[in-house]
A = this chain, B = another copy of it.
Amino acid sequence: MKADLNMTPRELRHLIRTGEFTEPTSGYCPGYAQANLIILPKEEAYDFLLFTQRNPKACPVLEVTDVGSRLTKFVAKDCDIDTDFPKYRIYENGIMKEEVTDISSYWRDDFVAFVIGCSFSFESEMIEAGIEIRHNTEHCNVPMYMTNIDCIPAGKFSGKMVVSMRPIPYSQIVKAVTVTATLPKVHGSPIHIGDPSMIGIKDIAKPDFGDPVTIKDGEVPVFWPCGVTPQSIVMNVKPKLAITHAPGHMLVLDVKNVSLKE
**A residues near B, CB below 8 A?**
42, 45-46, 49-50, 53-54, 61, 64, 66, 74, 152, 155, 189, 262
Top 9 closest A-B pairs, CB basis?
Answer: A46-B46, A49-B49, A53-B61, A50-B64, A53-B64, A45-B46, A49-B50, A46-B49, A49-B53
Question: B residues within 8 A CB of A189?
Answer: 262
What are 16 A-B residue pairs whose CB atoms fall within 8 Å in the complex? Answer: A42-B46, A45-B46, A46-B46, A46-B49, A49-B49, A49-B50, A49-B53, A50-B64, A53-B53, A53-B61, A53-B64, A54-B64, A54-B74, A66-B155, A74-B152, A189-B262
| A74–B50 alpha-carbon span in the complex (Å) | 13
Counting chain B CB atoms within 10 Å of each CB, the highest count among A46, A49, A189 belongs to: A46
| A50–B189 alpha-carbon span in the complex (Å) | 25
| A49–B42 alpha-carbon span in the complex (Å) | 14
Question: B residues within 8 A CB of A64?
Answer: 50, 53-54
| A262–B180 alpha-carbon span in the complex (Å) | 12
Smallest Cβ distance from A69 to chain B, in angstroms?
A: 12
Question: B residues within 8 A CB of A50?
Answer: 49, 64
Question: B residues within 8 A CB of A61?
Answer: 53
Query: In chain B, what residue has the closest Cβ to A47?
Result: B46
Question: B residues within 8 A CB of A54?
Answer: 64, 74
| A50–B54 alpha-carbon span in the complex (Å) | 14
